[in-house]
Amino acid sequence: MNTPNKLTIIRMIITPIFLVVFLATGIPHNFLLGLIIFAIGAITDFADGKLARKYNQVTVFGKLTDPIADKMLTTAALLAFMQFGLCNIWIVMIVLTREFAITSVRMVASAQGVVIPANIWGKLKTASQMVFTILIMLLGELKNTGVLGAGFDLPLLSNVLLWIMAVLTVLSGAVYLHQSKGMIDFSK
């Protein structure tokens, strides 16, 4: 197994660890610890793709599991945010619906021997998920430690950021579906 694929598997393993640590309100600085673990996962996402392309180590395994590992990590964060009142359930529904739809299209394309390349909208979606998640956890840590005053409305800001991410998620899905129309046969 090559290094990019190992990094993808590490991200899958990190995901439940992130969730356990982040949700453990009895642990001091759970937001900070969650942020660190999530950031490690985000770095593996950046690194695995970079390494796979640079060293010509792109594999079918990587093409299929990398997006699943991303979805595992970002979905875990959204679910944890819901637990803390930092994410509206409709945001999670929108994101998961898009992810299931696009994963289904990817599977159909793969079965037909077609690879639909990632586009800038997908990259913006993933970047917004990673950056906003890290920012929300950082602000949560600052709020929990008293650096941000009692008047700071973390749930409001968190939901605004996550709605922006949800819009990017829908846009990237629509662009991906539009691209796939001419590349795969949906009648098979």
Between 114 and 138, the more confident residue is: 138
Task: Give the residue from 25, 24, 28, 4 showing the smallest Cα distance to 16.
Answer: 24
| 46 pLDDT higher than 80 | yes
pLDDT, mean of residues 158-175: 96
Model confidence band, residue 2 (pLDDT cutoffs 50, 70, 90): very high
- What's the CA gap between 81 and 31, in Å, rounded? 11
Taking the CA atoms of residue 31, residue 125, residue 120 and residue 48 in that order, the dihedral angle to the nearest 10 degrees is 50
pLDDT of residue 103: 85
pLDDT of residue 12: 97
Residues 105 and 176: beta-carbon distance below 8 Å: yes
pLDDT of residue 97: 97
CATH 1.10.10.1100 at 3-181, yes or no: no
pLDDT, mean of residues 31-53: 94
pLDDT of residue 109: 87
| 185 pLDDT higher than 90 | no
pLDDT of residue 82: 97
pLDDT of residue 118: 74
Residues 183 and 117: beta-carbon distance below 8 Å: no
Torsion over CA: 162, 163, 169, 172 (sign)? negative
Within its chain, how far is the Cα of 89 from the centroid? 16
- What's the CA gap between 179 and 134, in Å, rounded? 30
| 179 pLDDT higher than 90 | no
- What's the CA gap between 117 and 109, in Å, rounded? 11
Q: What's 97-145 look like in SS3?
A: HHHHHHHHHHHHHHHCCCCCCCCHHHHHHHHHHHHHHHHHHHHHHHHHC
Mean pLDDT of the chain: 93
pLDDT digits (tens, 9 = 90+) for 68-79: 899 999 999 999
pLDDT, mean of residues 53-67: 87
Model-level pTM? 0.92
List the chain domain ranges. 3-181
